[in-house]
């Protein structure tokens, strides 16, 4: 797939078929993503791929924690506020999703349901966790973001769907213990991956982007 088309056509997938992805293909996608750039070629990323019974067991644990009212404790705290420009984009997304699906993401009950869907990996056959040493600098966090983008683009190029999920890291201490990830690591991102169900209503909303002139300045 042409790189420009791949970047423009990729979208977050929130409904998957139950068809498993061959391990060889998942390995190929990760092998592609490892060529992402990083500060001094430090390659500050680690990857955990979950499938089958292990993924289901983790999903059940997360759902139980939510049901018990356990307070989230992600390694990367959720933003408490946004500058006006970014808040406008979020408000527009919420309005568009409400119009398309009838779901109001400002409603606490909808957020609870959204988290449940996240914890179920949107029924994807595989889940991926990205993590790194917690002592690394913000540059390494930036590098892991580049790796995540490369991974999602490589997956899209191979006919797979992905969705980056901050909610999947809500219970970072429990997840790391369950997956035998050392406490010295920071859990940065969860990603569901599989074959997309493009007929599902969950995949019909296509988010918009700002006009280029709204965020680019030129000096000569």
Residuewise pLDDT in 10s, the chain (220 residues): 899 999 999 999 999 999 999 999 999 999 999 999 999 999 999 999 999 999 999 999 999 999 999 999 999 999 999 999 999 999 999 988 888 788 788 888 888 999 999 999 999 999 999 999 999 999 999 999 999 999 999 999 999 999 999 999 999 999 999 999 999 999 999 999 999 999 998 888 889 999 999 999 999 9
Domain with 68 in it: 51-77+85-120
pLDDT for 157: 97
Instruction: Of 199, 176, 179, give the one whose Cα is nearest residue 188.
Output: 176
> How many domains is the chain partitioned into structurally?
1
Q: Report if residue 112 sits inside a domain.
A: yes
Q: Which residues contact 52 (CB under 8 A, 6 or more apart)?
A: none
Half-sphere exposure for 207 (CA within 13 Å, toward CB): 15
Instruction: Of 33, 19, 44, 217, give the one whose Cα is nearest residue 141.
Output: 44
Dihedrals φ, ψ of 54, to 5°? Answer: -65, -45
Q: Report if residue 101 sits inside a domain.
A: yes
pLDDT for 32: 98
Q: Report if residue 95 sits inside a domain.
A: yes
pLDDT for 91: 92
Q: Report if residue 208 sits inside a domain.
A: no
Q: Is the pTM of this model over 0.85?
A: yes
DSSP assignment, residue 28? H
Instruction: Of 145, 119, 141, give the one whose Cα is nearest residue 132.
Output: 141
Buried b (16+ CB within 10 A) or exposed e, 51-76: beeebeebbebbeebbeeeeeeebbe
- Strands 185-194 and 161-165, by their bridges, are antiparallel
pLDDT for 185: 98
3-state class (DSSP) for residue 140: helix
pLDDT for 119: 98
- Do residues 127 and 193 touch, judged by C-beta distance below 8 A? yes
pLDDT for 40: 98
Q: Report if residue 91 sits inside a domain.
A: yes
Instruction: Of 186, 179, 189, 122, give the one whose Cα is nearest residue 152.
Output: 189
Q: Report if residue 211 sits inside a domain.
A: no
pLDDT for 158: 97
pLDDT for 96: 87
Instruction: Of 193, 184, 182, give the one whose Cα is nearest residue 121.
Output: 193
Distances (CA, A) of 170 to 35, 185, 200: 29, 15, 26
Cα separation, 210 vs 131, in Å, equals 30
Q: Report if residue 181 sits inside a domain.
A: no
């Amino acid at each position: 797939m042409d790189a420009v088309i791949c970047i423009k056509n990729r979208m977050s997938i929130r409904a998957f078929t139950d068809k498993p992805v061959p391990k060889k293909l998942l390995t190929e996608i990760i092998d592609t993503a490892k060529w992402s750039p990083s500060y001094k070629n430090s390659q500050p990323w680690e990857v955990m791929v979950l499938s089958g019974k292990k993924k289901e067991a983790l999903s059940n644990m997360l759902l139980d924690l939510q049901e018990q009212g356990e307070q989230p404790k992600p390694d990367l705290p959720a933003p408490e506020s946004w500058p006006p420009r970014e808040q406008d984009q979020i408000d527009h997304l919420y309005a568009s999703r409400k119009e398309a699906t009838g779901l109001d993401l400002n409603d606490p009950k909808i957020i609870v349901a959204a988290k449940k869907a996240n914890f179920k990996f949107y029924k994807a056959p595989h889940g991926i966790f990205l993590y790194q040493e917690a002592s690394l600098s913000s540059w390494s966090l930036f590098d892991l973001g580049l790796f995540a983008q490369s991974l999602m683009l490589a997956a899209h190029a191979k006919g797979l769907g992905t969705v980056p999920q901050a909610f999947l890291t809500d219970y970072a201490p429990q997840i790391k213990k369950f997956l035998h990830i050392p406490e010295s690591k920071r859990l940065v991102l969860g990603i569901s991956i599989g074959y997309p169900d493009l007929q599902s209503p969950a995949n019909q909303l296509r988010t918009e982007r700002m006009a280029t002139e709204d965020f680019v300045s030129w000096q000569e």
